Amino acid sequence: MTARTDFGSHYLVDLSQCDPDKIARVDGVRAIFLRAAEQSKARIVGELFHQFEPAGVSGVLLIEESHFSVHTWPEDSFVGVDIFTCGEEMDAPIAIDALKRAFSARVVEVKVLVRGQLGEDPWMPTPRKR
Amino acid sequence: MTARTDFGSHYLVDLSQCDPDKIARVDGVRAIFLRAAEQSKARIVGELFHQFEPAGVSGVLLIEESHFSVHTWPEDSFVGVDIFTCGEEMDAPIAIDALKRAFSARVVEVKVLVRGQLGEDPWMPTPRKR
């Protein structure tokens, strides 16, 4: 029997030169994020958001297909998103495009990795720092 | 002014040939995951876990430094973890080693990407499928 080697696609998404006012508070970021996830046909099973002071948001959606996460740095106009999907129906690029527009990001960079095929050398723990 | 280009390290971690019994239920996975995060000196600000039936877990910890996520496939003895840390104090490799041992993973593969430097071509939305 051959071991399964495809556990879905993991999108890392850096959104730069965003509108700082749109990424400062949980209320706004949560609404945008939920809408983007729904547009991509993700099936949400749970959500968790955290407000940093004076400004900045972390949040995650657990979905049937794995997860969405968001972290915002309003002082740098930067948003880091990841979308891990192991479903066939879900369309992550739709969510990425929706987030780009909603955060008014001028630059978006994306890397996609197939989970189960990271292909690095086997892990050796690094020495402890202390 | 030069724009900031380092928003932390994002570790993608594939753990293969795990003990299926250790990755089937929220209770066990949550305890292992919280302990690994604490050992790495992550500062936890929130947690969310979901039980899939008949077996399988998704979970996330929001931390001051960004997040931990875990998704388990007991039927394939596979666990997908990601750790996004923008903190100086936190030591993600300690958590990875703790998870390897706790899930009895025989193979661990890791990729680390610096957020803010994904370096792909600027994002162009793909045509909608329908």
- Taking the Cβ of residue B100 and every Cβ of chain A, the question of whether any pair is shorter than 8 Å is answered with yes
pTM exceeds 0.90 for this model: yes
Q: What is the mean pLDDT of residues A103-107?
A: 97
Span A8-120: which CATH code?
A: 3.60.90.10
Whether B59 has its CB under 8 Å from any CB of chain A: the answer is yes
Is pLDDT above 50 for A64?
Answer: yes
pLDDT of A130 reads 44
Task: Tell whether A66 is within 8 A of chain B (Cβ).
Answer: yes
SS (H, E, C) chain B: CCCCCCCCEEEEEEEECCCHHHCCCHHHHHHHHHHHHHHCCCCEEEEEEEECCCCCEEEEEEECCEEEEEEEEHHHCEEEEEEEECCCCCCHHHHHHHHHHHCCCCEEEEEEEECCCCCCCCCCCCCCCC
Where are the domains positioned within chain A? 8-120
B10 carries an active-site annotation: no
User: Which pLDDT score, from 0 to 100, does residue B1 have?
Assistant: 59
pLDDT given at position B124: 60
Q: What is the pLDDT of residue A1?
A: 59
Name the stretches of chain B with pLDDT < 50. Answer: 129-130
The pLDDT value given to residue B123: 62
The whole-angstrom separation of Cα A49 and Cα B1 is: 32
Mean pLDDT for chain A overall: 92
The complex scores an ipTM of 0.92
Question: Nearest CB to A123: which of B73, B76, B96?
Answer: B96
Selected catalytic residue, list B9, B66, B69, B77: B66
Q: Which residues on chain A are in Cβ contact (under 8 Å) with B123? A: 13, 96-97, 100, 108-110
pLDDT of residue B130: 44
Res B119: pLDDT: 81
Per-residue pLDDT, A127 = 53
